[in-house]
Structure 1
Amino acid sequence: MKNSVKFFLPALALFAACSGEKNPGWDISTDQEQITAGKSLFEQNCAACHNFTQNAIGPNLSGVTHEMTSEWVKNFIKNPTQIIESGDERAKATFAAYKTYMPAFPNLGDEQMDQILSYLHTYEKKAVEQSADKIEDPIPDSVVDSGIRMELEFFFQVPPTDTITPLAKITKLESEPVFGRTFLQDQHGVMYEIINGKPVEYLNLKKLRPEMVSKPGLATGFGSWAFHPDFVNNGILYTSHTVPGGTAPADFAYADSIPVKMQWVLTEWKTNNPKGTPYVGEGREFFRIDVPTQIHGVQELAFNPKSKPGDEDYGLLYVGVGDGGSAENGFAFIPDHQGRLPWSSILRIDPSGRNSKNGKYGIPASNPFASDPNKAGEVYAYGFRNPNRVFWSPDGQLLASEIGHHNIEELNKIEPGKFYGWPQREGTFLINPYGNMSDLFPLPADDAELGSTYPLIQLDHDELNAIIAGYFIPSGELEGNFLFGDVPGGKLYISDLKGDQPKVESWKVIYNGKEMTIKELCDCKRVDLKFGQDKTGQLYLMTKFDGKVYKIKTP
């Protein structure tokens, strides 16, 4: 663990540099209409990863056009990988700091680029004070290679739904719980059934809900889906998707002074032919929530696969709701709610009930806050930045993966009513949600008073930048081991999840007889890795970069 002395650094020390031109930004227009247009483009394409007050997923952009030439900034936006690979020192330094490739934006034309630069140019660089007890290297130890190698077999490629990468935004592959039919969805709006090894369109959410938007990408669009455990009889399934802010009144909103970039909508769909493909039926909206950015929305819907008819948990829908990007955009009070609000929470609701405030779903009496008038009865557990996957271990333990901010990725054991730290903690470290959230500090002496529950597994960004989970090996010599990985970089990890501090190791794949990384497999710099598992236990690996699906042959 390294501590720094107190000093000042420019907010863009890694992003900006003297470019050899006497006055960077001399060619940038200060026309107000152009600035306004640039602000809109920035909010649509850039704000999920960048702001002007602190480092986030990407660097603080305050002052970039005052330090770098317009040509450099434009080229970096259009193709950051090319600039990094060209040997540009500042681009290399930025990559070293954030350890992931920024998506390219080749679709932005010259006029749009000029507008964005006009908006960027309104922000001067600022000095950031760093504390003496700031932690520079939160987890010094490195993950070791397990030596495990698993063979991949190409299964199929999803039809492209975009002309730029990722070509197919496939995110979730699972089976309907009884028949065992297997499905996956593309965030651009199409849900497929896998029939005879090929994807066949099952439900076209974009056609059914034309107001759905899946641009500018990241987590927007068709977020998740879950079949009711009695789908074979009742024909009911659930989806989440995004629409533009203000499309309709939200069930959960905040002060109108805070922007509403997106709304997440939950829909119950019912078909009279549960065995048929494609889906034919009707849908009813039952939940709508505002979020200030396009990130960290409702990326997970799930039913407990271990529950049976008559069990208390049977038919209850778990909903992973992130903070909507609120904390890092200056609205930390939205997720900092101590169970009073649904953001930054895992919800548990009864879709067949009607005792919610909007009368469209039920709040189970067994929920931890169901009888507390000062809490949100829907909340099962809270304090998450982005609980992007919710799942159960073979022994029935509820788990959730948590995509972190600037430093820590987590896997958490979920217990009812517990608080998991965000936005006051990132992993087992203190952060300041009302200051520079990229800085980590040691836990204070009175940490127990916060009542935070800490991760079962935590890894820093030396290992992975965005955790994606998570499935268990069903049989063989590695039975019960948990597989997970890194979304952008495609790194692969395995753990037996035993003990209070489970061992985590890396593993690699063999494809066509050759050992390789996932980046080598898809010949790309940004993989957008996902996993899946069908009812037989077969595990799958998916790469959104090219829309390909592979079977994992476990030992």
Structure 2
Amino acid sequence: MKKAEQPTLKQIQYASPGEPLLRSDPPLNFNKMIKNGTALIALLSLFCFSHCNPGGGKNAIATDSVSIAAGEISFTKNCSGCHNFKQDGIGPQLSGVTGTLSPDWLLHFIKNSQQMIASGDQQANQLFAKYKKSVMPPFEALQDAEVNQLIAYIHAQKATGSQANKKNNGISNPIPGPIVLSNLVVNLQPITQFPATSDKPPLARITKLGFQPVTGNLFVNDLQGRLYKMKNDKPIVYLDIAKLKTKFINKPGLAAGFGSFAFHPEFASNGLLYTTHTEAPGSGKADFGYADSIKVTMQWVLTEWKTTTPNADSFAGSSREMLRVNMVTGIHGVQEITFNPLAKKGNKDYGLLYIGVGDGGSAEAGFAFLEHSIEKIWGTIIRIDPKGKNSVNGQYGIPSANPFANSSNNKAVKEIYAWGFRNPHRITWTKSGTMLASNIGQANIESLYEVQPGHDYGWPIREGNFVSAELSDNLGNVYPLPANDSIYKITYPVAEFDHDEGKAISGGFEYWGNAIAALKGKFLFGDIPSGRLFYLDVADLKQGKMATIKEWKITINGKPETLKAVCGSDRIDLHFGRDMQGELYILTKADGKMYKMAGAELKP
């Protein structure tokens, strides 16, 4: 056998899973090899490679329990936010995918799908088109062995009956008309660069901008565990939950970690601050849990912090746990807490804390019975009195005005203010007092709701203004509303867009400032992954009517730009903030930057 013909380990291929490995490239000529004494060496190489490097070849998929277990950990950490094995979501359900795509192709696609799309790969571009130009971030930091373990876990998941029999007659394009580009151009002024808490995008997982209600000092949180105070337009660490809470975790999922924060309206005098964060399963006794037979991926914890020096640049004081919620998966957690900024002393809403509790991915995971019920906390907006004591655990109060506080149903969750959400990601109010919630959808619809106490917003039997697929079908499908829809008493969105336009609505704000006349009367928001920027006229927000959404553009320091270009990433991770004066800000998690809306004009 000539030297050039000798097989290399990288060239040796696996047969189908479980078969002996006796193939190579080029093919082995054993008669010739026996003559020159190389057959034994080749056979030993094949044997060692097949047993010492399972999953390492082009056609190999490891089937051993160690590889599968390691792959499950990696899947939960890296993939579960967009994929599952039952229903299509942001990306396709993955059960049975290894029966149609080769392990080698999957490895390269997982490591850098964007590169494969750009190269013209037919399968990659078919997926890109099918999932409406949603791009999976690259995972080049994963070693090939880690990706192969991930593929081993995916391979071990068998196609479910619902997938094998799923219907394909859902509406292919729920909202055919495109969002129109308006003549609004907003100039952004760069404010600061936040410290990187990762060595790859997103560099700083900044998600929310808020302010101290008396001084107006701005604060921004990073999911990695830090709360920054802005001083002279520079971030300084005010509170580091990752250090103070020993069971704190910031994985798995795109939104795990330090989720949200809210200052009590009287923070200047009482020093009370509230936060939510994630901890590992079993870190504490859950106030809201479910049957032991259902997996707990993480726990979300609401904490009250108390300081005696409210104006200090760093927190010093104590904390107490208020409530703890188990979650089935790492997505759709407790990502929003807020006080009604319009409520004044003497108002029944003053000092009451609103909390958006996502469904924890329970519908996609096959446990939809955990939501869409006033007897369950998942998929709700709750309202509590932080200073009260009449909750079941005695750590907070339940306002008597809550819609189910005096329900005849003794199983009702008395904390619930409204229900039927998938992920009430952001909560805000218009100047006229209308409460709004942006709800991140499944595979079709991103929606904005006018929130009214006790109302049902439909998930998972509705996705936006459409019927969601029956749970025995594919949640990726939606259908028209029935002619008579009164039986369910669903409250539908006041604005929505489909996944031709974006994948995850970024909660926004009505402009309350005085510096930019062109923004008066507008509610500005966008799409988290793509960074597209939208607005609607607040006057158009009426229940039973769909407000028109328009797109707007930006300049940065007067120069026309796009967030995608300045971030240098296909995933922007867009978030909005508003200061005490009502002026608006933009946060881009991909590059960890903060901008202020400094001017706007309506260009012809």
Question: Residue by residue, what CA displacement relative to the aligned partner does 1:506-546 show, whole Å, maximum 9, x if unpaired?
Answer: 00101244323211221211111111111122211111001
How do residues 99-178 of structure 1 correspond to structure 2 at under 5 angstroms?
Answer: 99-124=133-158, 128-129=164-165, 131=167, 134-178=170-214
* Kept after mapping to 2: 8 A contact 1:220/1:242: yes
The answer for the alignment partner of 1:221 in structure 2 is 257
Which of residues 471, 477, 480 is equivalent to 2:521?
Answer: 480
CA apart distance, 1:45: 2.1
Provide the rounded CA distance (Å) in 1 between the counterparts of 2:565 and 2:16: 41
* Kept after mapping to 2: 8 A contact 1:81/1:525: no
Q: Is the aligned partner of 1:369 residue 2:404?
A: yes
The answer for the alignment partner of 1:18 in structure 2 is none
Q: Which runs of 5+ in 1 are unaligned?
A: 1-20
Deviates more, 1:34-43 or 1:435-444: 34-43
The answer for the alignment partner of 2:538 in structure 1 is 497
How do residues 469-548 of structure 1 correspond to structure 2 at under 5 angstroms?
Answer: 469-473=507-511, 474-475=513-514, 476-499=517-540, 500-548=545-593
Deviates more, 1:502-511 or 1:481-490: 502-511
Provide the rounded CA distance (Å) in 1 between the counterparts of 2:473 and 2:170: 13
The answer for the alignment partner of 2:503 in structure 1 is 465
Provide the rounded CA distance (Å) in 1 between the counterparts of 2:205 and 2:197: 8
Deviates more, 1:84-93 or 1:404-413: 84-93
Provide the rounded CA distance (Å) in 1 between the counterparts of 2:414 and 2:140: 45
Deviates more, 1:446-455 or 1:263-272: 446-455
SS of equivalent to 1:519: helix
Q: 1:84 to 1:133 in 2, by over 3 A?
A: closer
Q: Is the aligned partner of 1:421 residue 2:458?
A: yes
The answer for the alignment partner of 1:212 in structure 2 is 248
Which of residues 299, 304, 312 is equivalent to 1:263?
Answer: 299
Deviates more, 1:66-75 or 1:127-136: 127-136
Q: Which amino acid aligns with 2:414?
A: G
Which of residues 307, 315, 319 is equivalent to 2:351?
Answer: 315
CA apart distance, 1:419: 0.2
Provide the rounded CA distance (Å) in 1 between the counterparts of 2:379 and 2:141: 33
Provide the rounded CA distance (Å) in 2 between the counterparts of 1:408 and 1:289: 26
Provide the rounded CA distance (Å) in 2 between the counterparts of 1:392 and 1:67: 48
The answer for the alignment partner of 2:471 in structure 1 is 433
SS of equivalent to 1:232: helix
* Kept after mapping to 1: 8 A contact 2:447/2:464: yes
Provide the rounded CA distance (Å) in 2 between the counterparts of 1:349 and 1:150: 37
Which of residues 115, 129, 132 is equivalent to 1:82?
Answer: 115
The answer for the alignment partner of 2:8 in structure 1 is none
The answer for the alignment partner of 2:27 in structure 1 is none
Which of residues 210, 219, 241 is equivalent to 1:183?
Answer: 219
SS of equivalent to 2:71: helix
Q: Which amino acid aligns with 2:100?
A: E
The answer for the alignment partner of 1:197 in structure 2 is 233
Q: Is the aligned partner of 1:59 residue 2:95?
A: no
Q: 1:277 to 1:510 in 2, by over 3 A?
A: same
Question: Residue by residue, what CA displacement relative to the aligned partner does 1:443-465 show, whole Å, maximum 9, x if unpaired?
Answer: 22342101100000011001111
Provide the rounded CA distance (Å) in 2 between the counterparts of 1:118 and 1:477: 55
Q: How many residues align?
A: 535
Question: Residue by residue, what CA displacement relative to the aligned partner does 1:19-70 show, whole Å, maximum 9, x if unpaired?
Answer: xx99697411211222222223222322222122221121011222222222
How do residues 25-64 of structure 1 correspond to structure 2 at under 5 angstroms?
Answer: 26-64=59-97
Q: TM-score, normalising length from structure 1?
A: 0.93
Q: Which amino acid aligns with 2:537?
A: D
Provide the rounded CA distance (Å) in 2 between the counterparts of 1:170 and 1:549: 9
Question: Residue by residue, what CA displacement relative to the aligned partner does 1:333-390 show, whole Å, maximum 9, x if unpaired?
Answer: 01132x1121100000001001000111000000000011241110000000000001
The answer for the alignment partner of 1:330 in structure 2 is 366
* Kept after mapping to 2: 8 A contact 1:300/1:390: yes
Question: Residue by residue, what CA displacement relative to the aligned partner does 1:145-194 show, whole Å, maximum 9, x if unpaired?
Answer: 11111111111100001112101000001211111111001000000011
Provide the rounded CA distance (Å) in 2 between the counterparts of 1:380 and 1:293: 24
Q: TM-score, normalising length from structure 2?
A: 0.86
The answer for the alignment partner of 2:40 in structure 1 is none
Provide the rounded CA distance (Å) in 1 between the counterparts of 2:330 and 2:157: 22
SS of equivalent to 2:433: coil
* Kept after mapping to 2: 8 A contact 1:66/1:124: no
Q: Give the structure with higher Rg (CA).
A: 2
SS of equivalent to 1:477: helix
CA apart distance, 1:139: 0.5
